[in-house]
Amino acid sequence: MSESTNNDTKTIAFLVAAEGIEQVELTDPWQAVVDAGHTAVLVSPKSGTVQMFNYLDKADTQKVDKTVADVSADDFDALVLPGGVANPDALRTDKDAVALVKDFMASGKAVAAICHAPWTLVEADVVRGRKLTSWPSLETDIRNAGGEWVDERSVVDGNLITSRKPDDLPAFISALLDAVEHGAAATGQESA
């Protein structure tokens, strides 16, 4: 996973916990960001490596580039929150990770969350009044947090991009790259 030195290079944070990350929800958007000439940075509460999964089976590991304590939303142009059940469940209990997500949402920069990742958005109290999607089991959590849950492949609401599952990765990645290339505000409010 190489980095580009293009003058229009954006730096995208991928925030994950130590384990439980759905591998394709990290690696596919990561590779798309890199292939588009941008820099991807893996951020986690602790240094070392993180354990990805293919559903419930252990998959690859990946080295953490920066810890949550060493970064701020100002360091990046966008944030990606991969899913997996255990990953966002752990992130939502880490106050610094939740604060980083809240800062990203307040900044107006693109925040892209897939599958179970909106749990962290719920914990950060940033879904109120927003239209979003997720893995179906999060519907009640999102509605209880004041969000409007819809069953669609990809939903863009201002700077927030959400998708339901790995099958939705093409739509998720397209919306993410559009927001990175043209700015989160340019993506408007659309559904796919």
In one letter, which amino acid is 176? L
The closest alpha carbon to 173, from 5, 10, 31, belongs to: 31
In one letter, which amino acid is 51? Q
Is the separation of the CB atoms in 151 and 143 below 8 Å?
Answer: no
Q: List all residues 6 or more positions away from 59 whose beta carbon is below 8 Å from its beta carbon.
A: 23, 51, 52, 53
What CA–CA distance (Å, rounded) separates 122 from 66? 24
User: Could you say which of 100, 115, 177, 180 is catalytic?
Assistant: 115
Residue 30's CB is within 10 A of a number of other CB atoms, namely 20
Asked if 115 is an active-site residue, the reply is yes
What is the DSSP pairing of strand 66-67 with strand 49-54?
unpaired
Which uninterrupted H or E stretch holds 46?
A: none
Is the separation of the CB atoms in 152 and 131 below 8 Å?
Answer: no
The closest alpha carbon to 175, from 113, 106, 101, 83, belongs to: 113
Show which residues are catalytic: 115
